[in-house]
Amino acid sequence: MDKLAIRHMVELLRDKKEHIIKDMVYPFKDILRSKEDLEALKLRISFLFDLFLLKISSDTCLNTADFGARVQEFMSRYDMEVEDFLTRFDEIRVVMESHISSMPVDETNKTLTIAKLYRFFLDLQKEAYLETAKQKNKELLHKDDQLSQLKSDRMEILSKLSSSFAHEIRNPLTSIKGFIKLIEQRMETPVEEKNYFSYIYNEMEELEQQVNQILFLSHEKNHQDIYFTSVSLNQLLYDAVDYFQPLFYQNKINVELNLCENVTTLGIEEQIKLVLYKLMQNAHDALIMKEKNRCLKIWLTKKEADALITFSNNGPPVPALIRQSMFEPFVSTKELGKGLGLAVSKQLMKKHEGDIDYTSKEGWTVFKLRFPVEKEVRQ
């Protein structure tokens, strides 16, 4: 969208703000207890409305980190479960989308604005979801006598939420991609305007990747899980090291790659690749905390029916406080981390009939992946 079109859309939405906010309040109206509650909710939604207008009218990176805490306060006040809140919150998005669709602008601008609306709500829903899960995690840590059962319940809820949340976003995203493709094919546009479509596709691809990672936390099979093929672990490791090499070089990290003969496993290449990349990224993030002599050693060995991949780095060790829970969702050593990387990796390794574990010895942090070699998977 050019600046003029953006300004026009913002003005149209702002002119109808009062009417739109009235409609956006409706999904929560049945839980409100007083007129004061209604006015307070209108103020919150008005703030979100203005935040969205700011999002579509500028390249400003919005800080939505406190949204999750505000949602927690709201749910606590009205005794709501996160599933109920997210369902109602998504209805607000639908209301907003309906009003955007009714605006007297061309279809391309409507579609671009709706795409930004989905991204805006995805970011907010993610913050609400993450904050809720973190709160659940804190509660679990204070109930040692019920820890085993609570972990099981938590993972079951997380699996259902992950699947539901991912599908709620993926389905409309797929429709948007289809309509964008159709518009692109029908429009005779100059090269400069073609770049807008490239931008849209890139943004939707990023959204899909985020949704896929959340979906990986679910116990349910997803659309990729039926496409198991022969995967060369040697080639994936070569590719991973090659991909990260510029980053390693920039931060003076010495990488030692030691591979045995070619080993293959049956699996989904993109999912195995994701696990390798996350471990490489974690190793890099740990090593840059070390002043000098940064080293990452990667080994691929074959032991009977298993292929073993080890990532060893001499960076700071994983804090003892989280070693027992480091593979659980939302547990992270990074200040800005979401704590999904190792949890996703653990789930993906289970899907591939493998495992991931951690050890620390003599100044080295070691993560080990175990895959069944291909011939064993086939039996």
Task: Please check whether residue 255 is in contact with residue 362, taking contact to mean a CB–CB distance below 8 angstroms.
Answer: no
Report the pLDDT value the prediction gives residue 167, as an integer from 0 to 100.
59
**Residue 169 forms part of a structural domain:** yes
Picking from 194, 216, 238, the residue at the C-terminal end of a domain is 216
Q: Is residue 243 part of a domain?
A: yes
For residue 224, being part of any structural domain is answered with no
Q: Note the pLDDT tens digit of each residue in 291-345.
A: 899 999 999 999 989 999 999 999 998 888 777 778 877 666 664 445 678 888 9
Q: Which of 289, 291, 287, 274 is nearest to 222 (CA)?
A: 274
Q: 207: closest CA among 184, 176, 164, 244?
A: 176
Determine, yes or no, domain membership for 355: yes
Domain presence at residue 37: yes
pLDDT of residue 312: 96
**Are both 298 and 212 inside the same structural domain?**
no
What is the distance between the terminal CA atoms of the chain, rounded to a whole angstrom?
55
Measured distance CA(125)–CA(369) in Å, rounded: 32
Asked whether residue 134 falls in the same domain as residue 155, the answer is yes
The residue from 188, 216, 244 where one domain ends is: 216
Q: Which domain holds residue 103?
A: 3-216
pLDDT tens digit sequence for 2-41 = 778 888 888 999 999 999 999 999 999 999 999 999 999 9
Residues 183-189: what's their mean pLDDT? 72
Q: Is residue 223 part of a domain?
A: no
250 & 165 share domain: no
Statement to judge: residues 284 and 327 lie in one domain:
yes
Same domain, 332 and 368: yes
Whether 153 and 181 map to the same domain: the answer is: yes
Among 158, 184, 216, the domain boundary falls at 216
| One domain, residues 85 and 197 | yes
Residue 41 or 156, more confident: 41
In a domain? residue 221? no
Between 255 and 211, the more confident residue is: 255
Extract the tokens encoding 377.
């998977």
Do 247 and 148 share a domain, yes or no? no
Same domain, 209 and 63: yes
Total domains, the chain: 2
Confidence of residue 1 (pLDDT cuts 50, 70, 90): low
Instruction: Classify residue 58: in a domain, yes or no.
Output: yes
In this structure, the answer to whether residues 101 and 41 fall within a common structural domain is: yes
Of residues 196 and 113, which shows the higher confidence score? 113
CATH of the domain at 242: 3.30.565.10
Same domain, 184 and 244: no
Same domain, residue pair 201 and 247: no
